[in-house]
């Protein structure tokens, strides 16, 4: 039975398009923002290099990093702990694309998740491509804190973009503190 589940999943993955799958995070598409401007930096479909122990070449201004973290946590439609359950690749050279499957483990903040998995297609245009390409199979089994935000496309359909941060107690503490302040202000 498990074999057929995996086979069905692989067939489903092979037949899906190259765009990101639409999430079940509730929100009418007309009320969603378009994916542009500063949001393309906050939810840039990437993985924090420090979350995968890549420290070379990472020189960040702590004040800038805190401001970006705060903005990302406040704007996310949902923040959820996820586990990488599968990573596949298609194509070669310039057409190489990875499909990253993330299983929600625990919702931390934001809208409830009505999905068994998030599927992200990462090609050379995505900021996360370099990390995924260099680590490949070593990502499977790893956990992250996913900051996910819903957006409206020009045709009024929905898409979502993400940022994967470190699954670390200090990250969870910062998120909790920020979310408490937001809810206390309202």
3-state secondary structure string across 92-144: CHHHCEEEEEEEEEEEEEECCCCCCCEEEEEECCCCCHHHHHHHHHHHCCCEE
**Please, what sign has the CA dihedral across residues 109, 113, 119, 121?**
negative
CA pair distance 149, 79, nearest whole angstrom: 9
**Torsion over CA: 122, 128, 177, 65 (sign):** negative
> Mind listing the pLDDT tens digit for each residue in 82-117?
999 999 999 999 999 999 999 999 999 888 877 889
Task: Please tell me the predicted confidence (pLDDT) of residue 76.
Answer: 93
Residue linked to tokens 């941060």: 165
What is the residue extent of each domain of the chain? 21-185
Encode pLDDT of 111-147 as tens digits: 887 788 989 999 999 888 999 999 988 999 999 999 9
More confident residue, 80 or 20: 80
Beta carbons of 104 and 118 less than 8 angstroms apart: yes
Q: Does the pLDDT at position 9 exceed 50?
A: no
Q: 14 pLDDT exceeds 50? A: no
Rounded-to-integer distance, Cα 150 and Cα 29, Å? 9
Residue 6: pLDDT band (50, 70, 90) is very low
pLDDT, residue 51, reads: 86
Q: What's the rounded mean pLDDT across residues 161-182?
A: 84
Q: What is the pTM of this model?
A: 0.77
Over residues 43-53, the pLDDT tens digits come to 999 998 888 88
Owner of token pair 């420090």:
50
Question: Three-state DSSP class for 35?
Answer: coil
């Amino acid at each position: 039975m498990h074999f057929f589940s995996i086979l069905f999943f692989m067939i489903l993955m092979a037949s899906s398009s190259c765009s990101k799958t639409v999430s079940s995070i509730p929100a009418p598409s007309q009320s969603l923002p378009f994916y542009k401007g500063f949001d393309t930096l906050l939810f840039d479909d990437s993985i924090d290099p420090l979350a995968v122990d890549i420290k070379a070449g990472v020189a960040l201004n702590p004040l800038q990093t805190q401001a970006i973290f705060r903005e990302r946590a406040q704007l996310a439609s949902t923040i959820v702990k996820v586990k990488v359950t599968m990573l596949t690749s298609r194509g070669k050279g310039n057409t190489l694309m990875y499909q990253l499957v993330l299983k929600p483990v625990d919702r931390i903040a934001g809208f409830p998740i009505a999905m068994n998995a998030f599927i992200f297609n990462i090609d050379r245009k995505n900021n996360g491509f370099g990390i995924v390409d260099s680590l490949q199979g070593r990502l499977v089994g790893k956990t992250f804190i996913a900051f996910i935000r819903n957006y409206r496309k020009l045709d009024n359909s929905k898409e979502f973009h993400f940022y994967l941060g470190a699954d670390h107690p200090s990250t969870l503490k910062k998120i909790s503190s920020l979310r408490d302040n937001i809810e206390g202000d309202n």
